[in-house]
A and B are shown apart, each in its own frame.
Chain A
Amino acid sequence: GQQVMQIPQYQHVQEGEDFTTYCNSSTTLSNIQWYKQRPGGHPVFLIQLVKSGEVKKQKRLTFQFGEAKKNSSLHITATQTTDVGTYFCAGSWSNTDKLIFGTGTRLQVFP
């Protein structure tokens, strides 16, 4: 089926440590998007990956799309308290207009 699995569900880190969240689909994705939701807020778009093996960076954030276009990761280097929130991946497939979200990874950063 068309679903996206995301792990871990929670991650608590000390400020300055790295953080990674992973997404996986059992079928080939046409693209994957990443969103961040601050506590009490709404999801905000971060980035979209389309190409096999694609890697994109936004300051301390690195996004990867797997060679088979079935998995993706978001890595944050040297976390800061401003990174706190829930990170979602969302996948789409070529035969549908739907955008299906993973369950999210909630990141807590301790100063």
Chain B
Amino acid sequence: DAGITQSPRHKVTETGTPVTLRCHQTENHRYMYWYRQDPGHGLRLIHYSYGVKDTDKGEVSDGYSVSRSKTEDFLLTLESATSSQTSVYFCAISPGKNSPLHFGNGTRLTVT
């Protein structure tokens, strides 16, 4: 969708390797979020950011780290990928606290 881009769209990686997913926005929104989606679990919040260099943990942050060095980019890193991190990862943006989220198209990650 216009305004938010996730890359890559698909990735296959091996257990134990580091992986970085990128979320890029052109809306100048303050808030950015990373969610993972798995059958039966809905969308679970991994980490979120409320400004440049301001991040906080979500519900399932173990094994993940994030960085936001500029407003438009929010990176999600799997430090050492495991098969349990096979999932669809969605980035979302919003202009303010409690504002509606606008989601990217997702990244399908497979860890073999």
Q: Do A and B come from one complex?
A: yes
- B90 is an interface residue with CB less than 8 A from chain A: yes
Binds B, one of A11-19, A40-48, A54-62, A68-76: A40-48
**Cβ of B103 and Cβ of A101 under 8 Å apart?**
no
**Cβ of B42 and Cβ of A101 under 8 Å apart?**
yes
Residues of A contacting B: mostly: strand
Chain B min CB distance to A64 (Å):
18
Place the interface of chain B in its size category: 20 to 34
**Cβ of B105 and Cβ of A42 under 8 Å apart?**
yes
Contact flags A78-111 to B (C-beta < 8 A → 1, else 0)? 0000000000101010000111111110000000
Question: Considering the chains assembled together, what is the distance between the CA atoms of A33 and B103 in angstroms?
Answer: 14
Chain B, range 78-102, C-beta contacts under 8 Å to A: 90, 92, 97-98, 100-102
> CB-CB < 8 A to A42: which residues of B?
1, 90, 103-106
Question: Considering the chains assembled together, what is the distance between the CA atoms of A3 and B78 in angstroms?
Answer: 24
Task: Spell out B's residues near A (CB within 8 Å).
Answer: 1, 31, 33, 35, 40-45, 48, 50, 56, 58-59, 90, 92, 97-98, 100-106
Q: Which 4 residue pairs spanning A and B have beta carbons closest together? A: A103-B42, A101-B43, A45-B100, A42-B103
